[in-house]
Amino acid sequence: MTGRIGFIGPGKMGRPMIGRLQAAGHDVVVWARRAEQRAELYEAGVQTGDLRDVFTCPVVVSSLLDSDAIDGVFFDSGIDLRRTDTALVIEHATIAPEDSVRVAGTLAEAGIRYLDAPVSGGPQGAADGSLVTMIGGSEESLAAARSVLSAYCRRIVHVGENGAGVALKLVNQLLVAVHSVAAAEAGALLRANSIDPSVAVEALMGGWAASRRLELQLVDTINGDYAPDGASVGSFLPILSLVRDALTSARVTSSLLTGVEQTWSTAAARDPAAAFSALITAYDTAYPDSTILRNHDE
């Protein structure tokens, strides 16, 4: 089933999602905060409008940055949500579970159902339609959203009620952070031993060391290719703060996160826009006494 969909947040993830929705036959109305974004969308043949136009759509998909952005759009924009035509909001932002529950409750007072639906797979996954989404909300809301989500998500997993989707996403992000740093540290050791990264990937991906981050990151890490690819070391730092808050709230003492945060922060200080492959640059400064490191700038 196709229909009219409002979309908020046409950023690095949102733009390919919009393209997939259009390709699936949906009539998409997009709100963009910045004039240059609106101009780019217009040139690409995408219909844009103000927030009131978006909230004439029965379903609104939102891909905002954080809970402050969500509050600003949904609750502080001057729109009376009780007088809109929107019945369901699907939010892809990674936020704290308690914020998701709060947003869901406030929207429910206006008669609007809400799904927290964080995704994993990056901009390329959105473009390919291969994202995985972790859903927090009711079965009924998910049933209404499934035809929308399936345009760009290959795997749709219902985790539980509101807040459960983002809770699982924070576990996902903990693993992404740890695996990415492990790949960077492995890259430093491989580079010091002059081992061909392609050979290393072929061997390591065949056994217990295999991980998606190792596969995606290791060759670029060793070759010094840190070109932005849609996900940057700097943009991940706020996510790590959410992960730490989740661990603290659950009274789980992490033996990994402090070192992981140090590596991310050091790499981000060098080049916040760089890809995750740039995490290896942290080993030149974060651990200056290590004998396995070589200055990449030499």
Residues labelled as active-site residues? 169
The answer to whether 31 and 84 have CB atoms below 8 angstroms apart is: no
> Whose CA is closest to 3, among 30, 22, 31?
22
The answer to whether 279 and 267 have CB atoms below 8 angstroms apart is: yes
Q: Report DSSP letters for the chain, one per residue.
A: ---EEEEE--STTHHHHHHHHHHTT-EEEEE-SSHHHHHHHHHTT-EE--HHHHTTSSEEEE--SSHHHHHHHHTSSS--GGGSS--EEEE-----HHHHHHHHHHHHHTT-EEEE--EESHHHHHHHT-EEEEEES-HHHHHHHHHHHTTTEEEEEEEESTTHHHHHHHHHHHHHHHHHHHHHHHHHHHHHTT--HHHHHHHHTTSTT--HHHHHHHHHHHHT-----S--TTTTHHHHHHHHHHHHHTT---SSHHHHHHHHHHHHHH-TTS-GGGGGGGGGTSSTT-TT---TT-
Residue type, 275: A
Distance of CA 164 to the CA centre of its chain: 16
